[in-house]
Amino acid sequence: MIMRHSAVHHAHMPTLQELEIKSGRTPDKIISGLRELVNEKYIEWTPHTPPESARIIEGWERIDPRFKKRKSEPQELQWGTDGSKTNYWTDY
């Protein structure tokens, strides 16, 4: 997210020092994270080169197929004796 934000809003890829400051992680953890992003095909990056040489392939998280989207079905509203929709306050 830090890399995508920098690329889109600041027109440059962040340096290792910027990633350290913004993520609060050590350089080893950042490099490990970059390798993981390469393996998952979120970025193109050659190890042992600066992080600012990375290129973003996909800048958002993919939908996890293990989680199904719940279909919401319209529910009928119950009307109170005064004409108000009482289940709005009790069911939501």
Q: Specify the DSSP element, H or E, that contains 55.
A: strand 55-56
Residue 73 has what pLDDT?
Answer: 55
Higher pLDDT, 35 or 92: 35
Phi first, then psi: what are they for 15, rounded to 5°? -80, 170
Residue-wise pLDDT tens digits, 15-27? 999 999 999 999 9
CA distance 31 to 25: 10
Q: How large a percentage of the chain has pLDDT more than 70?
A: 73
Which residues have C-beta within 8 Å of that of residue 15, sequence separation ≥ 6? 50, 51, 52
Phi-psi region of 36 (alpha: psi -120 to 50; beta: other; left: phi over 0): alpha
Query: Which residue, among 81, 83, 78, has the nearest Cα to 92 in the 3D structure?
Result: 78
Least confident span in 7-11, 49-53, 59-63: 59-63
Q: Where are the alpha helices (DSSP H) in the chain?
A: 2-9, 16-23, 27-39, 86-91
